[in-house]
Chain A
Amino acid sequence: MFADKDVRAVFAVRGGWGCARILPLLDFATIRANPKLLIGFSDITALHLAFAARAGFTTIHGPNASSSWGKFSWDGFRAVTFDGAMPTFANPVGNEDRLVQRVGRIRTLHPGKASGRLLGGNLTVLAALMGTPWLPDFTGAILFIEDIAEAPYRIDRMLTQLALGGVLGKLAGIVFGQCVDCGASGPSYGGFTLSQVLQHHFGALGVPVFQGAQFGHVANQFSLPVGVRAEIDADLGTIRLLEPAVI
């Protein structure tokens, strides 16, 4: 598909599991010689990270082809992939009749701004690639991660793996997106909450970190170009691209 000159971009229809199985089978010489946008998220993270490591061109962590393509998702995707724009991604502000925003609110774990290459995707997939040659170098990167249906103790285990593997200590900043159905249940009952786990791992790193950005297994999501330079503002909860993702 990458060698086919008629194909301008490659969409994942959906996520799932097992994408990493095909990594050793991909012809990265051909892929690198034919840069074109790859779009998707969730298990497609295996491709995003492998492409960042082996293909060296931008891919888009955004809705899969069968995802919801509402105006919020579409506008961000179009700006990045059609217009070559450098948008500032921020969560949508709802019309809640409340003093404090609840839906789409962000939480600053460590204040400040940071810039670096955007690298990341699904935390489970990323953790599963640790120790393999399919991970890019995270030095100075902005790590963005999300997940679904993972109890806090599992999130803790994966983040501990990233810490012990030296990834967290290399980062310039971190954005934790949506973690759908990640509440305490089963073995986590009575243990740490997700917020506590994130605070434990990220709070002491001394780099800007915020939680709650609108990407992951949700209807409205950012289209984050993997590999491009961006600046995050952990106080405002924004991700601003510093260069276009396409030519």
Chain B
Amino acid sequence: MAIERRGVLAAMGALLLAAKAPPPMTTAAAPLALVKPPRLRPGDTVGLIEPAGFTDDSFDQRDVRR
């Protein structure tokens, strides 16, 4: 009987998912009571952050200000 790689891998995937998941290894934080921030209103001041890069293109900066 021919064995196809795709079939074997798919079956392995199904077995993986069907198996009882082990206790999570993450250190996930317990849920906090959800606090709702105040809604926005026209004219509000908003802060701009770039924690994942920087923008040095003047067009982009003008666009964001607008």
B-binding residues in A (CB < 8 A): 1, 4, 6-19, 22, 32, 35-37, 42-44, 46-47, 53-58, 65-66, 81-84, 117, 130-139, 160, 163-170, 192, 196, 200-201, 204-205, 227-228, 244-247
Given contacts A44-B52, A246-B36, contact A137 B29 (CB under 8 A): yes
**Do A228 and B34 touch across chains, with their CB atoms under 8 A apart?**
yes
Q: Are A201 and B40 in contact (CB under 8 A)?
A: no
Partner of A82, one of B16, B26, B39, B47: B39
Contact A201 B17 (CB under 8 A): yes
Contact at B47–A11, with CB atoms within 8 Å? yes
Taking a contact as CB atoms under 8 Å apart, the answer to whether A166 and B45 are in contact is no
Could you tell me if B34 and A9 are in contact, using CB atoms closer than 8 angstroms? no
Q: In the assembled complex, how far is the CB of residue B16 from the closest CB belonging to chain A, in whole angstroms?
A: 7
Whether B40 lies near A200 (C-beta < 8 A) is no
A6 to chain B: which residues have CB within 8 Å?
Answer: 45
CA distance A204 to B42 in the complex (A): 46
Chain B residues lying within 8 Å of A32, measured Cβ to Cβ, are: 35
Is A12 in contact with B51, judged by CB distance below 8 angstroms?
Answer: yes
Q: Any chain A CB within 8 A of the CB of B8? A: no
Given contacts A42-B52, A165-B24, A167-B24, contact A7 B47 (CB under 8 A): yes
Interface residues in B10-65 (C-beta closer than 8 Å to A): 10, 13-14, 16-18, 21-42, 44-53, 55, 60, 63-64
Q: How far is the CA of A85 from the CA of B29 in the complex (A)?
A: 28
With the chains together, A30 CA to B38 CA distance in Å? 16
A100–chain B nearest beta-carbon distance, Å: 27
Which 8 A-B residue pairs are closest in the complex by CB-CB distance? A16-B53, A56-B32, A166-B24, A16-B52, A53-B29, A169-B21, A43-B52, A246-B39
Report 25 cross-chain contacts, Cβ distance below 8 Å, ordered by A residue.
A4-B47, A6-B45, A9-B44, A11-B49, A12-B50, A13-B50, A15-B53, A17-B53, A44-B51, A53-B28, A56-B35, A58-B37, A66-B63, A66-B64, A82-B42, A135-B29, A137-B30, A137-B31, A163-B16, A166-B24, A166-B25, A168-B17, A170-B24, A200-B13, A247-B37
